[in-house]
A and B are shown apart, each in its own frame.
Chain A
Protein backbone atom coordinates (compact mmCIF):
# COMPACT_ATOMS: atom_id res chain seq x y z
CA UNK A 1 0.00 0.00 0.00
CA UNK A 2 1.18 3.53 -0.66
CA UNK A 3 0.35 6.57 1.43
CA UNK A 4 0.60 10.02 -0.09
CA UNK A 5 -0.07 13.31 1.61
CA UNK A 6 -1.50 15.72 -0.96
CA UNK A 7 -0.16 19.29 -0.74
CA UNK A 8 -3.19 20.77 -2.43
CA UNK A 9 -6.42 19.86 -4.16
CA UNK A 10 -4.84 19.59 -7.61
CA UNK A 11 -2.25 17.11 -6.35
CA UNK A 12 -4.96 15.07 -4.62
CA UNK A 13 -6.97 14.89 -7.86
CA UNK A 14 -3.83 13.98 -9.82
CA UNK A 15 -3.02 11.13 -7.39
CA UNK A 16 -6.57 9.80 -7.80
CA UNK A 17 -6.22 9.98 -11.61
CA UNK A 18 -2.94 8.05 -11.45
CA UNK A 19 -4.57 5.48 -9.18
CA UNK A 20 -7.28 4.73 -11.79
CA UNK A 21 -9.78 3.61 -9.19
CA UNK A 22 -7.33 1.88 -6.83
CA UNK A 23 -6.46 5.00 -4.79
CA UNK A 24 -8.82 6.41 -2.21
CA UNK A 25 -9.14 9.68 -0.32
CA UNK A 26 -8.83 9.72 3.45
CA UNK A 27 -9.00 12.64 5.84
CA UNK A 28 -8.77 12.05 9.61
CA UNK A 29 -8.44 8.31 9.06
CA UNK A 30 -10.24 7.37 12.29
CA UNK A 31 -12.36 4.72 10.54
CA UNK A 32 -9.60 3.46 8.27
CA UNK A 33 -8.46 0.49 10.36
CA UNK A 34 -12.06 -0.64 10.85
CA UNK A 35 -12.32 -1.31 7.07
CA UNK A 36 -10.38 -3.12 4.35
CA UNK A 37 -7.38 -1.11 3.22
CA UNK A 38 -7.19 -0.02 -0.44
CA UNK A 39 -4.03 -0.18 -2.57
CA UNK A 40 -3.25 3.50 -2.21
CA UNK A 41 -4.35 6.22 0.15
CA UNK A 42 -4.38 9.93 -0.63
CA UNK A 43 -4.42 12.01 2.56
CA UNK A 44 -6.48 15.14 1.96
CA UNK A 45 -6.26 16.55 5.48
CA UNK A 46 -3.49 19.09 4.80
CA UNK A 47 -4.91 20.61 1.60
CA UNK A 48 -5.66 24.32 2.11
CA UNK A 49 -8.82 24.09 -0.05
CA UNK A 50 -10.46 21.81 2.55
CA UNK A 51 -9.45 23.70 5.69
CA UNK A 52 -10.91 26.59 7.62
CA UNK A 53 -14.30 27.98 8.57
CA UNK A 54 -15.42 31.31 7.15
CA UNK A 55 -18.49 33.50 6.90
CA UNK A 56 -19.40 35.10 3.57
CA UNK A 57 -22.34 37.46 4.06
CA UNK A 58 -25.18 35.23 5.28
CA UNK A 59 -23.37 32.00 4.37
CA UNK A 60 -20.98 29.80 6.35
CA UNK A 61 -18.35 27.77 4.49
CA UNK A 62 -16.75 24.87 6.36
CA UNK A 63 -13.84 22.95 4.85
CA UNK A 64 -14.35 19.18 4.60
CA UNK A 65 -11.13 18.55 6.58
CA UNK A 66 -12.11 20.78 9.49
CA UNK A 67 -11.96 18.54 12.57
CA UNK A 68 -14.87 18.04 14.95
CA UNK A 69 -12.82 19.72 17.68
CA UNK A 70 -12.24 22.80 15.51
CA UNK A 71 -15.93 23.00 14.58
CA UNK A 72 -17.10 22.59 18.19
CA UNK A 73 -14.76 25.37 19.36
CA UNK A 74 -15.52 27.79 16.50
CA UNK A 75 -17.27 31.01 17.67
CA UNK A 76 -18.61 31.42 14.11
CA UNK A 77 -20.40 28.06 14.33
CA UNK A 78 -21.44 28.38 17.99
CA UNK A 79 -23.21 31.58 16.98
CA UNK A 80 -24.32 30.91 13.41
CA UNK A 81 -24.82 27.12 13.37
CA UNK A 82 -25.25 26.23 17.05
CA UNK A 83 -26.74 22.81 16.33
CA UNK A 84 -23.68 21.85 14.29
CA UNK A 85 -21.11 23.06 16.84
CA UNK A 86 -23.03 21.18 19.52
CA UNK A 87 -23.24 17.97 17.47
CA UNK A 88 -19.53 18.10 16.62
CA UNK A 89 -18.71 18.46 20.33
CA UNK A 90 -20.39 15.11 21.01
CA UNK A 91 -18.62 12.94 18.44
CA UNK A 92 -16.66 10.04 20.00
CA UNK A 93 -14.09 11.39 22.44
CA UNK A 94 -11.63 14.32 22.52
CA UNK A 95 -9.04 12.14 20.75
CA UNK A 96 -11.47 11.22 17.97
CA UNK A 97 -12.67 14.82 17.62
CA UNK A 98 -9.10 16.07 17.16
CA UNK A 99 -8.51 13.63 14.28
CA UNK A 100 -11.88 13.01 12.62
CA UNK A 101 -13.23 15.54 10.09
CA UNK A 102 -16.69 16.75 9.07
CA UNK A 103 -16.14 15.53 5.51
CA UNK A 104 -15.18 12.10 6.80
CA UNK A 105 -18.19 12.01 9.09
CA UNK A 106 -20.44 12.43 6.03
CA UNK A 107 -18.58 10.24 3.51
CA UNK A 108 -18.18 7.41 6.03
CA UNK A 109 -22.00 7.40 5.89
CA UNK A 110 -22.80 6.01 9.34
CA UNK A 111 -26.56 6.42 9.92
CA UNK A 112 -26.32 8.38 13.19
CA UNK A 113 -23.10 10.34 12.76
CA UNK A 114 -23.51 13.42 14.96
CA UNK A 115 -21.91 16.01 12.67
CA UNK A 116 -23.95 14.80 9.68
CA UNK A 117 -27.18 15.19 11.67
CA UNK A 118 -26.18 18.79 12.48
CA UNK A 119 -25.26 19.51 8.86
CA UNK A 120 -28.62 18.25 7.57
CA UNK A 121 -30.46 20.34 10.17
CA UNK A 122 -28.56 23.39 8.90
CA UNK A 123 -29.65 22.57 5.33
CA UNK A 124 -25.96 22.22 4.39
CA UNK A 125 -24.90 21.54 0.81
CA UNK A 126 -21.71 19.71 -0.02
CA UNK A 127 -19.45 20.92 -2.84
CA UNK A 128 -17.80 17.99 -4.62
CA UNK A 129 -15.14 17.95 -7.38
CA UNK A 130 -14.16 14.94 -9.45
CA UNK A 131 -11.10 13.84 -11.39
CA UNK A 132 -12.59 15.27 -14.60
CA UNK A 133 -12.65 18.66 -12.79
CA UNK A 134 -16.46 18.72 -12.76
CA UNK A 135 -17.93 20.41 -9.71
CA UNK A 136 -21.34 19.65 -8.25
CA UNK A 137 -23.38 20.61 -5.20
CA UNK A 138 -25.62 18.22 -3.28
CA UNK A 139 -27.73 18.46 -0.15
CA UNK A 140 -25.90 16.44 2.52
CA UNK A 141 -28.88 14.07 3.02
CA UNK A 142 -28.66 13.09 -0.67
CA UNK A 143 -25.12 11.75 -0.32
CA UNK A 144 -26.18 8.41 1.20
CA UNK A 145 -26.48 5.31 -1.02
CA UNK A 146 -27.24 2.92 1.86
CA UNK A 147 -26.24 2.23 5.46
CA UNK A 148 -22.52 3.03 5.70
CA UNK A 149 -22.26 3.57 1.94
CA UNK A 150 -21.79 7.03 0.46
CA UNK A 151 -22.71 8.28 -3.00
CA UNK A 152 -19.38 10.12 -2.94
CA UNK A 153 -16.92 7.82 -4.72
CA UNK A 154 -13.63 8.43 -2.87
CA UNK A 155 -11.63 6.92 -5.70
CA UNK A 156 -12.60 9.72 -8.09
CA UNK A 157 -14.42 12.41 -6.12
CA UNK A 158 -13.43 14.83 -3.36
CA UNK A 159 -15.80 16.54 -0.96
CA UNK A 160 -14.34 20.06 -0.72
CA UNK A 161 -16.52 21.96 1.68
CA UNK A 162 -20.00 22.50 3.11
CA UNK A 163 -22.04 25.66 2.56
CA UNK A 164 -25.04 26.69 4.64
CA UNK A 165 -27.00 29.78 5.60
CA UNK A 166 -26.10 30.89 9.11
CA UNK A 167 -28.75 31.64 11.73
CA UNK A 168 -30.46 34.99 11.25
CA UNK A 169 -32.37 37.10 13.79
CA UNK A 170 -35.01 35.10 15.67
CA UNK A 171 -33.36 31.77 14.78
CA UNK A 172 -32.00 29.21 17.21
CA UNK A 173 -31.01 25.55 17.12
CA UNK A 174 -30.07 22.61 19.33
CA UNK A 175 -28.80 19.03 19.14
CA UNK A 176 -29.85 16.34 21.63
CA UNK A 177 -28.61 12.78 21.74
CA UNK A 178 -28.92 9.90 24.17
CA UNK A 179 -26.33 7.15 24.58
CA UNK A 180 -25.40 4.67 27.29
CA UNK A 181 -22.40 6.85 28.17
CA UNK A 182 -21.64 10.50 27.41
CA UNK A 183 -18.39 9.67 25.62
CA UNK A 184 -17.33 6.97 23.19
CA UNK A 185 -20.83 5.60 22.72
CA UNK A 186 -22.88 5.63 19.56
CA UNK A 187 -26.20 7.38 20.17
CA UNK A 188 -29.34 5.30 20.66
CA UNK A 189 -31.10 8.25 19.07
CA UNK A 190 -30.42 11.87 18.21
CA UNK A 191 -32.56 14.84 17.18
CA UNK A 192 -31.52 18.21 15.79
CA UNK A 193 -33.86 21.21 15.66
CA UNK A 194 -33.65 24.62 14.00
CA UNK A 195 -36.46 27.13 14.58
CA UNK A 196 -37.29 30.72 13.62
CA UNK A 197 -39.56 32.63 15.96
CA UNK A 198 -41.63 35.73 15.26
CA UNK A 199 -43.54 37.24 18.15
CA UNK A 200 -43.39 33.96 20.04
CA UNK A 201 -44.75 31.89 17.12
CA UNK A 202 -42.86 29.20 15.20
CA UNK A 203 -42.40 30.59 11.68
CA UNK A 204 -40.03 27.92 10.49
CA UNK A 205 -39.01 24.53 11.91
CA UNK A 206 -36.42 22.03 10.70
CA UNK A 207 -36.31 18.71 12.55
CA UNK A 208 -33.82 15.95 11.82
CA UNK A 209 -33.73 12.50 13.44
CA UNK A 210 -31.23 9.64 13.35
CA UNK A 211 -30.88 6.69 13.07
CA UNK A 212 -34.07 6.32 11.06
CA UNK A 213 -32.81 5.69 7.52
CA UNK A 214 -29.31 5.49 6.00
CA UNK A 215 -29.18 9.33 5.98
CA UNK A 216 -30.09 11.76 8.77
CA UNK A 217 -33.82 12.21 8.19
CA UNK A 218 -35.87 15.41 7.97
CA UNK A 219 -39.43 15.11 9.34
CA UNK A 220 -41.38 17.45 7.02
CA UNK A 221 -44.89 16.43 8.16
CA UNK A 222 -44.03 17.25 11.76
CA UNK A 223 -42.32 20.49 10.73
CA UNK A 224 -45.47 21.62 8.87
CA UNK A 225 -47.81 20.76 11.76
CA UNK A 226 -45.74 22.91 14.12
CA UNK A 227 -45.68 25.99 11.90
CA UNK A 228 -47.57 28.93 13.38
CA UNK A 229 -47.89 27.34 16.84
CA UNK A 230 -46.66 29.23 19.92
CA UNK A 231 -43.28 28.37 21.46
CA UNK A 232 -44.76 26.70 24.54
CA UNK A 233 -44.76 23.48 26.56
CA UNK A 234 -47.97 22.27 24.84
CA UNK A 235 -46.35 22.65 21.44
CA UNK A 236 -43.23 20.71 22.50
CA UNK A 237 -45.42 17.90 23.91
CA UNK A 238 -47.41 17.76 20.65
CA UNK A 239 -44.13 17.70 18.72
CA UNK A 240 -42.93 14.77 20.83
CA UNK A 241 -46.10 12.80 20.03
CA UNK A 242 -45.89 13.62 16.32
CA UNK A 243 -42.24 12.58 16.14
CA UNK A 244 -42.94 9.29 17.93
CA UNK A 245 -45.59 8.56 15.27
CA UNK A 246 -43.49 9.78 12.34
CA UNK A 247 -40.25 7.83 12.81
CA UNK A 248 -39.58 4.29 11.69
CA UNK A 249 -37.11 2.76 14.09
CA UNK A 250 -35.29 -0.55 14.36
CA UNK A 251 -34.18 -2.27 17.52
CA UNK A 252 -30.52 -3.07 18.00
CA UNK A 253 -29.19 -5.85 20.19
CA UNK A 254 -26.24 -3.69 21.21
CA UNK A 255 -28.00 -0.42 21.86
CA UNK A 256 -31.72 -0.58 22.62
CA UNK A 257 -35.13 -1.91 21.56
CA UNK A 258 -37.21 -0.24 18.85
CA UNK A 259 -39.77 0.68 21.49
CA UNK A 260 -37.23 2.51 23.62
CA UNK A 261 -35.84 4.24 20.56
CA UNK A 262 -39.32 5.52 19.66
CA UNK A 263 -39.74 6.82 23.21
CA UNK A 264 -36.37 8.59 22.99
CA UNK A 265 -37.31 10.14 19.64
CA UNK A 266 -40.23 11.93 21.28
CA UNK A 267 -38.33 13.04 24.39
CA UNK A 268 -35.31 14.29 22.45
CA UNK A 269 -37.51 16.16 19.93
CA UNK A 270 -39.26 17.98 22.79
CA UNK A 271 -35.96 18.92 24.41
CA UNK A 272 -34.26 19.95 21.16
CA UNK A 273 -37.18 22.17 20.10
CA UNK A 274 -37.47 23.77 23.54
CA UNK A 275 -33.75 24.55 23.66
CA UNK A 276 -33.73 25.84 20.06
CA UNK A 277 -36.69 28.14 20.84
CA UNK A 278 -34.99 29.42 24.01
CA UNK A 279 -31.93 30.31 21.99
CA UNK A 280 -34.06 31.87 19.24
CA UNK A 281 -35.63 34.08 21.92
CA UNK A 282 -32.16 35.02 23.17
CA UNK A 283 -32.51 33.15 26.48
CA UNK A 284 -29.87 30.98 28.11
CA UNK A 285 -30.37 27.37 29.25
CA UNK A 286 -32.59 27.24 32.33
CA UNK A 287 -34.24 30.63 31.71
CA UNK A 288 -37.84 30.73 30.57
CA UNK A 289 -40.13 33.48 29.45
Chain B
Protein backbone atom coordinates (compact mmCIF):
# COMPACT_ATOMS: atom_id res chain seq x y z
CA UNK B 1 0.00 0.00 0.00
CA UNK B 2 1.50 3.31 -1.08
CA UNK B 3 1.78 5.92 1.65
CA UNK B 4 1.73 9.66 1.19
CA UNK B 5 2.23 12.67 3.41
CA UNK B 6 -0.99 13.96 4.94
CA UNK B 7 -1.07 17.36 6.66
CA UNK B 8 -4.04 18.61 8.63
CA UNK B 9 -5.05 20.25 11.90
CA UNK B 10 -6.11 17.80 14.58
CA UNK B 11 -7.69 19.18 17.74
CA UNK B 12 -6.19 22.59 16.99
CA UNK B 13 -2.66 21.32 16.46
CA UNK B 14 -0.87 20.77 13.16
CA UNK B 15 -0.24 17.13 12.25
CA UNK B 16 1.95 15.77 9.47
CA UNK B 17 2.40 12.07 8.90
CA UNK B 18 3.21 9.48 6.26
CA UNK B 19 0.17 7.24 5.98
CA UNK B 20 -1.99 5.24 3.62
CA UNK B 21 -4.52 7.73 2.21
CA UNK B 22 -6.95 4.92 1.35
CA UNK B 23 -7.52 3.91 4.96
CA UNK B 24 -10.40 5.51 6.81
CA UNK B 25 -9.93 8.58 8.98
CA UNK B 26 -11.21 6.40 11.84
CA UNK B 27 -8.36 3.93 11.33
CA UNK B 28 -5.83 6.75 11.04
CA UNK B 29 -7.04 8.29 14.32
CA UNK B 30 -7.20 5.07 16.31
CA UNK B 31 -4.31 3.00 14.96
CA UNK B 32 -1.75 5.59 13.85
CA UNK B 33 -2.46 8.53 16.15
CA UNK B 34 -3.66 6.44 19.12
CA UNK B 35 -6.75 8.55 19.68
CA UNK B 36 -9.06 5.74 20.73
CA UNK B 37 -11.86 7.92 22.09
CA UNK B 38 -13.46 7.73 18.63
CA UNK B 39 -15.15 4.31 18.46
CA UNK B 40 -15.68 1.87 15.63
CA UNK B 41 -19.17 0.40 15.65
CA UNK B 42 -20.43 -0.75 12.27
CA UNK B 43 -17.59 0.59 10.11
CA UNK B 44 -20.02 1.45 7.32
CA UNK B 45 -21.66 4.72 8.24
CA UNK B 46 -24.74 3.41 9.97
CA UNK B 47 -24.12 3.81 13.71
CA UNK B 48 -22.38 7.16 14.27
CA UNK B 49 -20.04 5.83 17.02
CA UNK B 50 -17.10 7.19 14.99
CA UNK B 51 -18.47 10.74 14.59
CA UNK B 52 -15.84 13.49 14.44
CA UNK B 53 -16.01 17.10 13.24
CA UNK B 54 -14.49 17.75 9.81
CA UNK B 55 -14.22 21.50 9.27
CA UNK B 56 -16.81 21.89 12.03
CA UNK B 57 -19.37 19.45 10.62
CA UNK B 58 -20.21 16.03 12.07
CA UNK B 59 -19.20 13.15 9.77
CA UNK B 60 -18.71 9.40 10.12
CA UNK B 61 -14.92 9.04 10.28
CA UNK B 62 -15.24 5.42 9.09
CA UNK B 63 -16.43 6.74 5.69
CA UNK B 64 -13.85 9.50 5.26
CA UNK B 65 -10.75 8.46 3.31
CA UNK B 66 -7.70 9.63 5.28
CA UNK B 67 -6.43 11.47 2.19
CA UNK B 68 -9.48 13.71 2.28
CA UNK B 69 -8.44 15.50 5.50
CA UNK B 70 -5.40 17.11 3.84
CA UNK B 71 -5.53 20.82 4.72
CA UNK B 72 -8.65 20.41 6.82
CA UNK B 73 -9.52 20.72 10.50
CA UNK B 74 -10.48 17.60 12.47
CA UNK B 75 -11.87 17.67 16.02
CA UNK B 76 -12.24 14.43 17.99
CA UNK B 77 -13.75 13.75 21.40
CA UNK B 78 -10.22 14.12 22.87
CA UNK B 79 -10.06 17.67 21.50
CA UNK B 80 -13.36 18.63 23.08
CA UNK B 81 -12.57 17.10 26.46
CA UNK B 82 -9.06 18.60 26.59
CA UNK B 83 -10.37 22.08 25.85
CA UNK B 84 -13.19 21.65 28.37
CA UNK B 85 -15.78 22.45 25.70
CA UNK B 86 -17.53 19.12 26.21
CA UNK B 87 -17.83 19.63 29.97
CA UNK B 88 -21.47 20.87 30.07
CA UNK B 89 -22.51 18.01 27.77
CA UNK B 90 -20.57 15.44 29.80
CA UNK B 91 -22.13 16.65 33.05
CA UNK B 92 -25.60 16.69 31.56
CA UNK B 93 -25.17 13.14 30.18
CA UNK B 94 -24.13 11.89 33.63
CA UNK B 95 -26.93 13.76 35.40
CA UNK B 96 -29.58 12.44 33.00
CA UNK B 97 -28.32 8.84 33.14
CA UNK B 98 -27.71 9.05 29.39
CA UNK B 99 -24.73 6.67 29.57
CA UNK B 100 -24.92 2.94 30.10
CA UNK B 101 -22.23 0.93 28.33
CA UNK B 102 -20.74 4.17 27.01
CA UNK B 103 -19.67 2.92 23.60
CA UNK B 104 -21.88 5.33 21.65
CA UNK B 105 -21.26 8.25 24.01
CA UNK B 106 -18.29 9.93 22.26
CA UNK B 107 -20.21 9.96 18.98
CA UNK B 108 -23.34 11.26 20.69
CA UNK B 109 -21.34 14.06 22.35
CA UNK B 110 -19.79 15.05 19.00
CA UNK B 111 -23.19 15.22 17.28
CA UNK B 112 -24.68 17.13 20.22
CA UNK B 113 -21.73 19.53 20.29
CA UNK B 114 -22.10 20.20 16.54
CA UNK B 115 -25.78 21.00 17.07
CA UNK B 116 -25.25 23.34 20.01
CA UNK B 117 -22.43 25.15 18.18
CA UNK B 118 -24.81 26.23 15.45
CA UNK B 119 -28.07 26.25 17.43
CA UNK B 120 -27.75 27.14 21.15
CA UNK B 121 -31.50 26.87 21.79
CA UNK B 122 -32.73 23.77 19.95
CA UNK B 123 -36.20 22.25 20.19
CA UNK B 124 -36.66 18.64 21.31
CA UNK B 125 -37.26 17.68 17.66
CA UNK B 126 -34.08 19.39 16.53
CA UNK B 127 -32.08 17.50 19.18
CA UNK B 128 -33.63 14.18 18.11
CA UNK B 129 -32.83 15.02 14.48
CA UNK B 130 -29.22 15.92 15.35
CA UNK B 131 -28.77 12.59 17.18
CA UNK B 132 -30.61 10.56 14.53
CA UNK B 133 -27.35 9.32 12.99
CA UNK B 134 -26.13 7.86 16.29
CA UNK B 135 -27.35 4.46 17.42
CA UNK B 136 -27.50 3.38 21.06
CA UNK B 137 -28.39 -0.16 22.12
CA UNK B 138 -28.82 0.62 25.84
CA UNK B 139 -30.71 3.72 26.87
CA UNK B 140 -33.54 4.23 24.40
CA UNK B 141 -32.48 7.81 23.50
CA UNK B 142 -34.86 9.73 25.78
CA UNK B 143 -32.20 10.46 28.45
CA UNK B 144 -29.81 11.65 25.74
CA UNK B 145 -32.29 14.11 24.30
CA UNK B 146 -32.95 15.35 27.84
CA UNK B 147 -29.22 15.65 28.46
CA UNK B 148 -28.63 17.75 25.33
CA UNK B 149 -31.55 20.06 26.18
CA UNK B 150 -30.16 20.39 29.72
CA UNK B 151 -26.65 21.14 28.41
CA UNK B 152 -28.10 23.78 26.10
CA UNK B 153 -29.80 25.45 29.09
CA UNK B 154 -26.55 25.31 31.10
CA UNK B 155 -24.57 26.82 28.23
CA UNK B 156 -27.08 29.60 27.67
CA UNK B 157 -27.08 30.38 31.39
CA UNK B 158 -23.30 30.59 31.70
Contact = CB atoms under 8 A, between A and B. Distances in A.
A94 interface: yes
Interface stretch (B10-18, B28-36, B59-67, B82-90): B59-67
Contacts of A132: none
B139 interface: no
B52 to A, nearest CB: 9
A69 B57 contact: yes
B63 A2 contact: no
Give the secondary structure class of A's interface. mixed
Contacts of A45: 68
Interface string B44-65: 1110100100100111101111
Interface in A42-98: 43, 45, 69, 92-96, 98
B129 to A, nearest CB: 7
B111 A94 contact: yes
A99 B44 contact: no
A4 B129 CA distance: 34
B110 to A, nearest CB: 9
B63 A183 contact: no
Contacts of B66: 3
A1 B45 contact: no
Contact of B64 (A2, A41, A94, A99): A99
Contacts of B58: 94-95, 98
B106 interface: no
A32 B132 CA distance: 22
A99 B60 contact: yes
Interface residues of A, number: 26
Most buried by A among B54, B63, B129, B135: B63
Most buried by B among A92, A94, A98, A183: A94
Given A2-B4, A5-B70, A95 B44 contact: no
Nearest to B63: A30
Given A3-B67, A43-B67, A34 B130 contact: no
B65 A3 contact: yes
Contact of B21 (A3, A30, A92): A3
Given A37-B22, A95-B111, A5 B133 contact: no
B45 A96 contact: yes
Contacts of B59: 95, 98-99
Contact of B51 (A92, A95, A182): A95
Nearest to B110: A95
A123 to B, nearest CB: 29
Most buried by A among B24, B59, B134: B59
Contact of B63 (A4, A29, A43, A69): A29
Nearest to A26: B65
Contacts of B133: 92-96, 183-184
Interface in A9-52: 26, 29-30, 32-34, 37, 41, 43, 45
Contact of A3 (B4, B132, B134): B4
B45 A30 contact: yes
B120 interface: no
A92 B45 contact: yes
B48 A93 contact: yes
B137 to A, nearest CB: 14
Interface string A171-203: 000000000001110000000000000000000
Given A94-B58, A98-B59, A3 B45 contact: no
19 contacts: A3-B21, A3-B65, A5-B67, A5-B68, A32-B63, A33-B24, A33-B63, A45-B68, A94-B129, A94-B132, A95-B58, A95-B60, A95-B111, A95-B133, A96-B133, A98-B57, A98-B58, A98-B59, A183-B132
